[in-house]
Amino acid sequence: MRAEGVASLLVTDLPSIRHLAGFTGSAARLLVTPRRAHLVTDGRYRIQAAREAFRCRVAVAAPGKAFEAVADALRRDGVRTLSFEPDAITYADWRALARACGRRVRLAPAPPLAARLRAVKDRAEIALLRRLARMADAVLAACRPRLRPGMTEGEIAALLERASLDAGAEEAAFRPIVAAGAHAAMPHHRPGAGTARRGAPLLIDFGTRMRGYNSDLTRTFHFGKVTARYEGVYRTVLDAQRAALQAIRPGVRAGDVDRAARDVIAAAGHAACFGHSLGHGIGLEVHEEPRLGPGVATKLEAGMVFTVEPGIYLPGWGGVRIEDMAAVTSTGCVVLTGSARELGDSVL
């Protein structure tokens, strides 16, 4: 905050509040001033906040009065300027904050300080993410032998969710993406009545959650002897992922890693069929900083953890995506997920 000239900061994003203060409830505002940190919550979390956010001065506000409690804390600490993270506050909340603070306090937008801190994981966070990645591997290994032609996407999604709980997850990180046949051409297809069948791709994207952190893993499968088209698309996506992983190291721009994968896909004639970013940070949220996308100038740092997930999507046929979690090290990266991803491993 000192480096950015931020006198005081209001954090409203719940994952960031959990990261900074340790509070896991569903209602909170975190105010950081030069004197102390204040956590504002409601009466449901009086005991929990005192236990979890013990480094903060906890204020319990009446319903709808959270920003009045923030304004009171600002007055007690003698702060006249309050910065907020514009990407993490709604317009309605901003108006309520402005009314509570009045003319005495100047409101100013701040850089995404909490998001930047969360982008670089410490050893304990990386250890937990590695454990979650291995948990996702175990879930896939348990489900893979049970996949059969004729199963619906919804049945496979339910199988993944049950296996995640059996493996020790507190819950699924998100509703699994299961896309059979032509549905696999839609990167975020919602599983439904579509059925897995021979001669067509089956894309599975899922994750596990524990202690607030998440994993994310995607594999594409094929029932029976693969077609030349599937083999060509699959090998291209796998080569693109390998190129991206080789490009990862501290100091490299996130956009350059994306380009390493995108160039491989473009050389194969599928430039227009890879329409999403290469990857996203993962931690307390499934999608967080850093983002690996075209032109992103963020420089990678040791401790960053993100997905690497190139894909090719062909309308009317389907698609292939291969996704793994990678952690940046001092010299390169280490892949945290370990599920096999060679062409032969995708054949069911």
Domain ranges of the chain: 9-117, 120-346
171-172 and 208-210 strand pairing: antiparallel
Query: From 3.30.470.20, 3.20.20.70, 3.90.230.10, 3.40.718.10, which CATH number describes the 120-346 domain?
Result: 3.90.230.10
Q: What is the bridge-based pairing of β-strands 106-109 and 81-84?
A: parallel
3-state secondary structure of 335: strand
185-213 pLDDT, tens digit each: 999 999 999 999 999 999 999 999 999 99
Q: What is the tens place of the pLDDT at every residue in 237-290? A: 999 999 999 999 999 999 999 999 999 999 999 999 999 999 999 999 999 999
Count H helices, E strands: the chain? 9, 19
What's the pTM value of the predicted model, to 2 decimals? Answer: 0.95
What are the residues facing 172 on neighbouring strands? 208
Residue type, 236: T
Residue whose structure tokens are 């910065």 = 83
- Which CATH number is 9-117 given? 3.40.350.10
With vertex at residue 57, the alpha carbon angle to CA 74 and CA 112, rounded to the nearest 5 degrees, is 65
Q: At what angle do helices 66-77 and 91-101 cross, to 10 degrees?
A: 50
Residues 201 and 341 sit within 8 Å (Cβ to Cβ): no
HEC profile of 105-174:
CEEEECCCHHHHHHHECCHHHHHHHHHHHHHHHHHHHHHHHHCCCCCEHHHHHHHHHHHHHHCCCCEECC
CB distance 336 to 326 below 8 Å: yes
Blockwise average pLDDT, block size 10, the chain, 348 residues: 94 97 97 97 97 97 95 96 95 96 95 95 98 98 97 98 98 98 97 96 98 98 96 98 98 98 98 98 98 98 98 98 98 98 97
pLDDT at 248: 98
Q: What is the pLDDT of residue 176?
A: 98
Confidence at residue 330, expressed as pLDDT on a 0 to 100 scale: 97
- Tell me, what amino acid is at 312? I
Furthest CA-CA distance within the chain: 72
